[in-house]
Structure 1
Amino acid sequence: MSNKNTLKIGCHLSSSKGFYAMGQNALKINANTFQFFTRNPRGSRAKEMNLEDVERFLKFMQEHKIEKVLAHSPYTLNPCSADEKNRDFAKVTMLDDLTRMEYLPGNFYNFHPGNHVGQGIEAGIEQIISMLNSILKPEQTTTVLLETMSGKGTEIGSKFEELHQIMEGVKLSDKLGICLDTCHVFDAGYDIVNDLSGVLHEFDEIIGLDRLYAVHLNDSKNPIGSHKDRHETIGKGTIGMDAILSILTHPNLCHLPFYLETPNDLSGHKVEIEMIRTALQQN
Structure 2
Amino acid sequence: MIFGSHVSIRDGYLGAAKRAVANQASAFQYFPKNPRSLTIKEFNQEDAKSCKDFCLKHQLYSVAHTSYSTSITPSVEKHDLTIASLLNDLEITEACGSIGVVVLFGSQISKTDPLASYHLMLGILNCVLSKWKGSSLILLENNAGTKGALGTTLEELVQIRNLCEYPEKIGFCLDTCHAFASGLWNGENTEELIEKGKSLGYCEQLKVIHLNNSKYPTGFKKDRHANIFNSSNGYINADQLKHLVKSLVLAGIPLILETHDDEGISHRKEIEMLKQKWEKSILENF
Distance 1:281 1:179, change over 3 A: closer
Whole-Å separation in 2 of the counterparts to 1:77 and 1:135: 13
Shift of 1:114: 2.2
- TM-score, length-scaled by structure 2: 0.89
Shift of 1:251: 5.6
Whole-Å separation in 2 of the counterparts to 1:208 and 1:127: 22
Corresponding residue number in structure 2 for 1:131: 124
AA aligned to 2:139 is L
Corresponding residue number in structure 2 for 1:66: 60
Secondary structure of the 1:153 match is: helix
Corresponding residue number in structure 1 for 2:93: 101
AA aligned to 1:230 is R
After alignment, is 141-150 or 102-111 more displaced? 102-111
Whole-Å separation in 1 of the counterparts to 2:195 and 2:14: 39
Number of aligned residue pairs: 275
Secondary structure of the 1:34 match is: strand
Alignment partner for residue 145 of structure 2, among 139, 143, 151? 151
- TM-score, length-scaled by structure 1: 0.90
Paired residues of 2:153 and 2:184 also in contact (CA < 8 A):
no
Shift of 1:244: 2.1
Does residue 177 in structure 1 map to residue 178 in structure 2? no
Q: Which runs of 5+ in 1 are unaligned?
A: 1-6
Shift of 1:20: 1.1
Secondary structure of the 1:264 match is: coil
AA aligned to 1:124 is S
- Offset from partner CA, 1:187-233 (integer Å, 9 cap, x none): 11123522212111112223431111110000001111111111111
Distance 1:118 1:134, change over 3 A: same
Corresponding residue number in structure 1 for 2:77: 85
Identity of aligned residues (%): 29
Paired residues of 2:94 and 2:100 also in contact (CA < 8 A):
no
Paired residues of 1:232 and 1:262 also in contact (CA < 8 A):
yes
Paired residues of 1:107 and 1:143 also in contact (CA < 8 A):
yes
Q: Which runs of 5+ in 2 are unaligned?
A: 282-286
Shift of 1:281: 4.9
Give RMSD over aligned pairs: 2.0
Does residue 270 in structure 1 map to residue 268 in structure 2? yes
Distance 1:279 1:10, change over 3 A: same
Paired residues of 2:72 and 2:125 also in contact (CA < 8 A):
no
Paired residues of 1:77 and 1:114 also in contact (CA < 8 A):
no
